[in-house]
Amino acid sequence: MKNLKLSDWSDIAEIVGGIAIIGSLIFVGVELRQATQQLILTSDIDADMTNAGLSIRIAEDSELSEIVFRGENDPGSLTDLEMARFENIALPRLAMWENSYDTYLAGSMSEVDWLAWDKFYRLRWNRPGYKLVYDKYRYGFGTRSAGYFEEIFGLEPISRD
């Protein structure tokens, strides 16, 4: 130790500094991952609460329930005003479905969780009314989910150029 020169101490300090930087980057990476996971969970909870609130509102309003039921199963039976009301329910539901799919594609949802949600969405919302609304507004949906929805709804792919 007595024979160490200033340049030796400088080299040691540089190594210690490099190790500290690497440690800091690992810490920041872990923190960022945790923050991202928390944001995803919060987003999922918000979406669930929005859907729950919408579903409760529909269930409590017999007129709206009837419009949604007909809109889902026989959208051609709706008046223009009823169709507008149905679209205001179908679009957020389709957006939630799309967001779940995008979350899965991004690797932020496990395959097990995605398969459960996919089954739910297909059973609940794979109906003529949602197909009609998706087809009408499909340019507003993301390109990552386009093929997925086109396959589910049996729609021909469209050019998004």
Given a contact cutoff of 8 angstroms between Cβ atoms, the answer to whether 38 and 92 are in contact is no
**91 closest CA partner among 37, 44, 54, 118:** 54
Q: What is the pLDDT of residue 40?
A: 63
pTM for the model stands at 0.72
Whether residue 44 is predicted with pLDDT greater than 90 in this model: the reply is no
Whether residue 49 is predicted with pLDDT greater than 90 in this model: the reply is no
Arithmetic mean of pLDDT, 21-43: 78
Q: CA neighbours within 13 Å on the CB side: how many for 7?
A: 0
Q: Tell which wins on pLDDT, 9 or 149.
A: 149
Distance CA 36, CA 55 (A): 28
* 149: number of Cβ within 10 Å: 21
**Residue 133, C-beta contacts closer than 8 angstroms, at least 6 positions apart:** 75, 86, 87, 90, 91, 94
Q: Sign of the C-alpha dihedral, residues 69, 73, 79, 80? A: positive
Given a contact cutoff of 8 angstroms between Cβ atoms, the answer to whether 120 and 112 are in contact is no
